[in-house]
A and B are shown apart, each in its own frame.
Chain A
Amino acid sequence: MNRHLVRLLLTLYPRPWRDRYGTEVVRLTQQLIATGETTPTRGALNMAGAALAERFRALADSPRTAVAMAVAALLAVAGSFYAGGHARPQKPPSAASAHPVVAKLTSVGCDFQLRPARGVVVPAGDTAAIAAVETETGNVSPVLIPVDVTAPDGLRPVTFPANLKKGQFVCVVAVPQSAPGGS
């Protein structure tokens, strides 16, 4: 890979990532090309793909993005209450839409902090169960995710109840794992 392409590929990464790992990833890519383990095209595509993934991750982790998403959620909730004030024949509510606040927050609340954590699953909209989990675990960060979203790295795999359907929502409470060797 020529120097210009390398520089271009590196600019695709978020700056903190580039500063920390940029030299290493370029050196390894060049080593893989030199030893015939990969081609320059494949090497460049792999770097570009990884850079985009890092960009998305950085965006999701950004506090500014989180605030914007929270504001959007509040607007969406306010909008749904406003729209609900105009009486119209309604279909029977689904498990998710029966709890609009939960459903709306779910769509923007996937702000996972990457760390070893335990996932606790309770049925969608079951506020009593969510409250019970929060009470039991103390200082927790409730994270609401749709059923069809896979638990990210750093979270233990979550087994969703079999009776939940795609589109319904569950609450996963991420609890920092106890010290290694602990329970």
Chain B
Amino acid sequence: MTRDSIRGSSDRSILILTSLADWPKHGYALIKDIEEFAGVKLGAGTLYSALAKLEQAGLVEALPAEERRRPYQITAAGREFLYQRLTESARIAEVGLRRIAVASS
């Protein structure tokens, strides 16, 4: 199993929700932002597949198009979902880091 192979579609959803957490973004801005903060370069097809799922789940919503580009924004449910997932991840990260530190001391 490679490092990349453990990045599932769930991770993509979290990346997108994280990117939208501050303000709405359109597709290109999402790709650039995610690349910048996570080092993950999503393709257009991949991005819109994930966006479609998130929209269907009510976690993001499309805003009216501006200059032929349609921005997306996170919903209240999406913010709650992201908060819970990140809290879980932070808890796991904390335990993992603590154990690594103990093992290497």
Contacts and interface: CB of A to CB of B under 8 A. Distances in A.
Interface of A: 17, 20-21, 24-25, 27-29, 31-32, 37-38, 42-43, 46-51, 53-54, 114-116, 150, 152-154, 156-157, 177, 180-181
Given A21-B52, A24-B27, A153-B9, A50 B46 contact: yes
Interface of B: 8-10, 13, 27-28, 31, 41, 43-53, 56-59, 68-70, 76-77, 79-81, 84, 88
Tell me the dominant secondary structure on chain A's binding face: helix
Nearest to B65: A24
Contact of A47 (B44, B53, B56): B44
Contact of A180 (B28, B44, B76): B76
Return the 5 tightest CB-CB contacts between A and B, nearest first.
A50-B45, A46-B43, A180-B80, A28-B44, A28-B27
B44 A46 contact: yes
A181 B80 contact: yes
Given A116-B57, A153-B9, A38 B49 contact: no
B53 to A, nearest CB: 5
Given A24-B48, A153-B10, A180-B79, A115 B43 contact: no
Given A27-B69, A48-B45, 12 more contacts: A21-B51, A24-B48, A24-B70, A28-B48, A29-B45, A32-B31, A38-B43, A50-B45, A50-B46, A53-B49, A153-B10, A154-B53
Taking chain B's interface residues, is the majority helix, strand, or loop, or is none over half, making it mixed?
A: helix
B10 A25 contact: no
Contacts of A54: 49, 52
B79 A114 contact: no
Contacts of A42: 43
Contact of B57 (A43, A154, A156, A180): A154
Contacts of B48: 21, 24-25, 28, 50
Given A28-B48, A29-B45, A50-B49, A157 B88 contact: yes
B56 A114 contact: yes
Given A28-B48, A53-B49, A116 B77 contact: yes
Nearest to A51: B45
